[in-house]
Amino acid sequence: MKVTRATFDEVMVPNYNPAKMVPVKGEGSRVWDQEGVEYIDFAGGIAVNCLGHCHPAMVKALTEQGNKLWHLSNVFTNEPAIRLAKKLTEATFADRVYFANSGAEANEAALKLARRWALDKFGAEKNEIIAFTKGFHGRTFFTVTVGGQPAYSDGFGPKPGAVEHVDYNDLAALEAKMSDKTCAVMMEPLQGEGGVISPDAEFVKGVRELCDKYNALLVFDEVQTGFGRTGSLYAYQQTGVTPDILASAKSLGGGFPIGAMLTTAEIAEHLKPGTHGSTYGGNPLACAVAEAVFDVVHTDEVLNGVKHREELFKGKLAEINERYNIFKDIRGQGCLIGAELTDAYAGKARDFLNAGADEGVMVLVAGPNVIRFTPSLIIPEADVNEGLARFEKAIAKLVG
Ligand SMILES: Cc1ncc(COP(=O)(O)O)c(C=O)c1O
């Protein structure tokens, strides 16, 4: 059956408006569409394809597991899930893992756990969740409400209550909102969708101190920053601050849908049998692939390589900027880079994305003013150079 982008409009719910071309094949950091046109992929499926497309270790894990056992439900456990959880707990602060299928589900579990922990330990009054404007935590109704962009949560009827927001990096505002009723503070250790915004080091430490002062849990949403993206397995490991609960997804599966919530043994105790669950969470195929991703990513070679690629991207973008003067800031950490457009191009980030696609390079935006690059953590230097050369051509056409 021949299908095209036009077929999409005939059969799909219109909540997405994908690009005109339809990709059919990927290898490493290159992708080809139905017409055979090649693209360099700096988007990586929105910070998902951390080892590029069709990495041999992932294909091997998927095919081997695919010939053994696909699915069981959580009435039974399985070896890949237990092995992956063991590796995650050995590599982080966490003692316990809950598997889900997406970032939103990992965050949903985190929020429900925080509420249940507070109820069990302090009573029903302690239920307030504080999060940050411009934060993004997923699209389930709870997580999208906790996310700091009301445009995404408005228009669906009454929202889950006891959710408050303050500005990111504004410790005084957070302090003013916190009380003994606060059960958790949820934050990204670097805001991705909101515009690639880093927290001040003192801010992160201050949030931890306030959580300790008010007996509130600190939840780090590392769905985008996690699994090597910023140059350590998780971004918290570079902050000097340890969260109580951490949500992981995206790069965790490298393209296979999986999410995970990590926490301590003491907090995990509050999700007793039957309190929460998922049919597919901990699926053997997903966990086998994620284990293969872990084995590649959790090495000095790959994590140091991420830092090298950060320098490469920032350096080349700065050179482009000398010629075109279109960015007022180039920022981010590791393979999560944002280039904020000058006021002259405010609101035009998507035009740059489209112009890039026309020249054979896939980039992302993070809000209306920021172009975002979230390539594979192992993208070859030659592909970085070629992709940015194509992007510069797109810029030249767009700005003249
Ligand atoms: C920080 C963060 N949290 C949560 C999510 C939601 O993840 P998912 O789309 O897998 O539900 C995203 C997705 O962009 C994200 O960037």
Given this model, what pLDDT does residue 10 score? Answer: 98
The share of the chain scoring above pLDDT 70, in percent, equals 100
213 catalytic per annotation? no
The share of the chain scoring above pLDDT 90, in percent, equals 100
Ligand 1 centroid to Cα of residue 223, in Å, is: 6
7 pLDDT above the threshold of 90: yes
Per-residue pLDDT of 84-122, as tens digits, reads 999 999 999 999 999 999 999 999 999 999 999 999 999
Given this model, what pLDDT does residue 362 score? Answer: 98
Q: Name the one residue in this structure whose structure tokens are 């609960």.
A: 245
Average pLDDT over residues 307-320: 98
Ligand 1 centroid to Cα of residue 111, in Å, is: 14
221 catalytic per annotation? yes
Average pLDDT, the chain: 98
pLDDT band at 210 (very low <50, low <70, confident <90, very high): very high
- Residues contacting ligand 1 via CB (< 6 Å): 46, 102-104, 107, 136-138, 188, 192-193, 221, 223-224, 249
Per-residue pLDDT of 56-83, as tens digits, reads 999 999 999 999 999 999 999 999 999 9
Q: Tell me which residue of 168, 293, 291, 303 sits closest to 230, measured CA to CA.
A: 303
Token pair in block for residue 132: 């940050």
What is the distance, to the nearest Å, from the Cα of residue 106 to the centroid of all Cα atoms in its chain? 11
Strand order across the 217-221 sheet = 96-100, 259-263, 245-248, 217-221, 182-187, 128-132, 163-166
Q: Please tell me whether residue 215 adopts helix, strand or coil conformation.
A: coil
Active-site residue identified among 33, 42, 203, 221: 221
Q: Are strands 38-41 and 245-248 parallel, antiparallel or unpaired?
A: unpaired
Given this model, what pLDDT does residue 211 score? Answer: 98
Polymer length in residues for the chain: 400
Ligand 1 centroid to Cα of residue 392, in Å, is: 29
Given this model, what pLDDT does residue 177 score? Answer: 98
pTM for the complete prediction? 0.98
Average pLDDT over residues 12-25: 97
Any residues with CB less than 8 A from the CB of 233 and at least 6 apart, and which? 91, 92, 226, 227, 297, 298, 303
Given this model, what pLDDT does residue 400 score? Answer: 81
Given this model, what pLDDT does residue 399 score? Answer: 94
Average pLDDT over residues 26-36: 98
Given this model, what pLDDT does residue 46 score? Answer: 98
